[in-house]
């Protein structure tokens, strides 16, 4: 089981240091792989404070080139130099707000894996696409640009459940995860308003291999509660 906390655009270095110190001090389930994904400016702090623990640090994005004239982007070799373990790629907010394409997701994923990073590649349909009966076609298209790799994990995040408080039913999540796994043989995380109260049932589904947690990962207690829920799934 893998539980990854995506902090989005929250927690500068000072808040990150405080959170990571708390995380160090709390008992953590050793049976669960735990990852935190701070903003770029807080990555170094997280790596330093969590050094010597079993908690990994990942970035929220990564560029496909190793260097060059790409203002505002960060390449995999620089993340590796910081001690970062991996990166999220293709999050729905990147697709929605910043024009991320399937091709871009593919290039970022390949480059990150080639550089030795682990990747959480995100896929998922919008509410309109699901209502139109297009969910499987969307997932098939998004997954088709990815290739199996031992360091690749897919996160299924129904766009309509991100930051909305809506959550896919465990049955719907299971169905979507099974479909993704029929296309690509990799672990699949669920992302979309995962909270301590719904995590046990979601994580108990046979094809749910963990969670990509948003808002509930910003507080140590709620994040660890979800981590503990993964033990019993």
Mind listing the pLDDT tens digit of every residue in the chain (233 residues)? 999 999 999 999 999 999 999 999 999 999 999 999 999 999 999 999 999 999 999 999 999 999 999 999 999 999 999 999 999 999 999 999 999 999 999 999 999 999 999 999 999 999 889 889 999 999 999 999 999 999 999 999 998 777 677 778 899 999 999 999 999 999 999 998 899 999 999 999 999 999 999 999 999 999 999 999 998 76
**What per-residue confidence (pLDDT) applies to 159?**
87
pTM check: above 0.75: yes
pLDDT at position 233 is: 64
Count of C-beta atoms within a 10 Å radius of residue 15: 15
Let me know: does 124 contact 91? Beta carbons within 8 Å: no
**Which residue, among 188, 217, 218, 190, has the nearest Cα to 202 in the 3D structure?**
190
Q: Which CATH architecture has domain 2-231?
A: Alpha-Beta Barrel (3.20)
pLDDT value of position 91: 96
User: Could you give the residue numbers annotated as active site?
Assistant: 91, 157
CA distance 193 to 195: 6
The whole-angstrom separation of Cα 62 and Cα 54 is: 23
Nearest to 23 by CA among 61, 59, 52: 52
């Amino acid at each position: 089981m893998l539980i990854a906390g995506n902090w989005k655009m929250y927690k500068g270095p000072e808040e990150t240091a405080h959170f990571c110190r708390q995380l160090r001090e709390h008992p953590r389930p050793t049976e669960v792989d735990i990852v935190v994904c701070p903003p770029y400016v807080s990555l170094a702090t997280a790596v330093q404070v969590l050094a010597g623990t079993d908690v990994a640090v990942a970035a929220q994005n990564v560029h496909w080139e190793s260097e060059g004239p790409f203002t505002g982007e960060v390449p995999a070799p620089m993340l590796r130099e910081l001690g970062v373990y991996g990166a999220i790629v293709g999050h729905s907010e990147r697709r929605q707000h910043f024009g991320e394409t399937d091709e871009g997701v593919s290039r970022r994923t390949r480059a990150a894996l080639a550089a030795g990073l682990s990747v959480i590649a995100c896929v998922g349909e919008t509410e309109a696409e699901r209502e139109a009966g297009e969910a499987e076609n969307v997932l098939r298209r998004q997954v088709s640009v990815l290739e199996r790799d031992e360091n690749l994990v897919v996160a299924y995040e129904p766009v309509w459940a991100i930051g909305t408080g809506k959550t896919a039913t465990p049955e719907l999540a299971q169905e979507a995860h099974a479909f993704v796994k029929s296309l690509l043989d990799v672990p699949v995380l669920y992302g979309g308003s995962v909270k301590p109260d719904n995590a046990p049932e979601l994580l108990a589904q046979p094809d749910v291999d963990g969670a990509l947690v948003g808002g509930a990962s910003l507080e140590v207690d709620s994040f660890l509660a979800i981590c503990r829920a993964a033990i019993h799934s």
